Structure 1
Amino acid sequence: MQVDGAAIRTRRKELGLSRNECATAAGISGPYLSQIETGARRKMRPPTYKRLRTALQIQRDDHRLLAPPPESQHRKDTDGSHRGAGRPHPE
């Protein structure tokens, strides 16, 4: 699962948990949680995510700890123009 390390750190601090307290409650190591929070690691296995979500008192249907889906490289801006990689023009 793609997780949002900043959201995890924010929630942990809201609860007043140290990194090690949170990691212990989730059954993971402090260094692993540090890597998740700093963005050095962004993926987490579902069982590990579930334990972390429980330690952070987040309900199953609350997705704030998950990373937002990536934006399309060719998205339409509000002015109707397109951004992203363009097609090469014939010379």
Structure 2
Amino acid sequence: MERPPATYQVNGAELRRTRMRQGLGIQETATAAGIDRSYLQRLETGVRQRMRPGTYAALRTALGIDDDRLLAEKPEKR
């Protein structure tokens, strides 16, 4: 069985678009996900790009999504 990665690389622009489409404020989303507002802001602006699996799952739950649209695209293996 494959273990989840230690961190997930997120697409900050997609994270922001998703949050805004949901009509959620940055503080509201951060509180619902159990993270700091500044941490969420750094993710959205690309200053930070990685999240631990539990935090990523909490953010997805806070945004009401059940897919991996927030992940940065992985390069194809050759």
TM norm structure 2: 0.85
Superposed CA RMSD in Å reads 1.4
Bigger radius of gyration: 1
4+ residue runs of structure 1 moved beyond 2 angstroms? none
Partner of 1:22: 29
Cα distance in 1 for residues equivalent to 2:65 and 2:18: 9
Q: 2:69 aligns with which of 60, 64, 70?
A: 64
Unpaired segments ≥5 residues, structure 1: 76-91
Three-state SS of the structure 2 residue aligned to 1:66 is: coil
Q: Which has the higher strand share?
A: 2
Q: Measure, in 2, the Cα distance between the counterparts of 1:39 and 1:70.
A: 18
Question: Looking at both structures, which has the greater relative contact order when contacts are Cα pairs under 8 Å and sequence separation is at least 6?
Answer: 2
Residue 63 of structure 1 deviates from its aligned partner by 1.3
Number of residues of Structure 1 aligned to a counterpart in Structure 2: 71
The alpha carbon displacement at 1:70 in A equals 3.1
Give unpaired runs (5+ residues) of structure 2.
Answer: 1-7
d(CA) in 2 for partners of 1:7 and 1:54? 15
**Alignment TM-score, normalising by the size of structure 1:** 0.73
Aligned letter for 1:49? Y
**Distance in 1 between the 2:64 and 2:44 partners?**
17
Which of 13, 18, 21 matches 1:11? 18
Structure in which a larger fraction of residues adopt helix: 2
2:61 paired with 1:47: no
Query: Could you tell me the percent identity over the aligned residues?
Result: 56
